[in-house]
Amino acid sequence: MNSYSKTVTVALTGASGLPYGLALIRELVKAGCRVWVLCSQAAHIVAKQEMGLTLPARAADLEQWLSQEYAAAAGQLKAFGREEWFAPVASGSNPADAMVVCPCSMGTLAAIAMGSSDNLIERAADVSIKEQKKLVLVPRETPFSAIHLENMLKLARLGVVILPPSPGFYTHPQSIDDMVDFIVARILDQIGVPHQLVPRWGDTA
C-alpha cells in the first residue's frame, strides 16, 4: 500500500496552455498525490514555443526532470511513453483516481469522444470513462466550431468535465502566474485535491 492521497494522471497535449499543465503537476506533487504523466509529441513543441522549455523526449528523462523540478519524492511521479501499453493507465484493472488532460487539443478531444485509443493518452482517457473515474478536459481553442462543441457535449453527457481555461478577474490577478493558478485551482476542486491557491468567493478571512 502507498501513502499517496490520490493517484492522478496528467496528460499534456499540443494545445496552447502548457503552463497550466505544469503548474497542475507542481500542485499535485505538493498535495501528496501520486502523479502519472503522459506527454504528446506536439506538447513538446508548445512547451518550447510558449515557455522556452525543451522537455526531454524520453519518458524516463522527462520523469527525472519533472521530479527534480517539483521536488517529488522517490516514486511519486512517473512518466510514460505514448505507446507504453504496459503502463498502469492502459488498463481498467489499475486506473488512476482521476485524469486531467491539460491543455487538451481539439484533436485529442475528438479522439477521446470517438474512443479511438490510438495512443496512451487516448487509451487512458477511455479507461477513465469506462471505469467511471473523474476525467477533466481543459480545452484551449477559440472560437469553438460546431464540431468542437458537439464533441464536448457528447463527452459532458458521459460525465466528463469540460473545463476551459477561462480565468476569473474577481480575484484581481497581478500576474500571469495568478491567472494560471486560478485555473489550476478549479481543476483541483474538480478532482477533490485540497489547495490554497486562490481565495474562494465569499471568504472574508
Residue 105 in marked binding region: yes
Q: Does residue 28 contact residue 10 with C-beta atoms inside 8 Å? A: yes
Residue 20 in marked binding region: no
Residue 204 in marked binding region: no
Range list of β-strands (E), the chain:
7-12, 34-39, 77-80, 98-104, 134-139, 161-162
Q: How many residues does the chain have?
A: 205
Residue 140 in marked binding region: yes
Beta bridge partners of 129: none
Instruction: Tell me how many degrees the CA angle 97-99-103 measures, rounded to the nearest 5.
Output: 160
Residue 152 in marked binding region: no
| Continuous segment of H or E residues that includes residue 150 | helix 146-157
Q: Does residue 190 contact residue 28 with C-beta atoms inside 8 Å? A: no
Beta bridge partners of 14: none
Residue 82 in marked binding region: no
Residue 107 in marked binding region: yes
Residue 14 in marked binding region: yes
Find cell 493518452 and name the residue. Answer: 121
* Nearest 10 degrees: Cα torsion 94, 115, 192, 9: 50
Residue 40 in marked binding region: yes
Residue 15 in marked binding region: yes
Residue 1 in marked binding region: no
Instruction: Tell me how many degrees the CA angle 37-13-138 measures, rounded to the nearest 5.
Output: 95
Residues making up the binding site for dimethylallyl phosphate: 170, 186
Residues making up the binding site for FMN: 14-16, 40, 105-108, 140
Residues making up the binding site: 14-16, 40, 105-108, 140, 170, 186
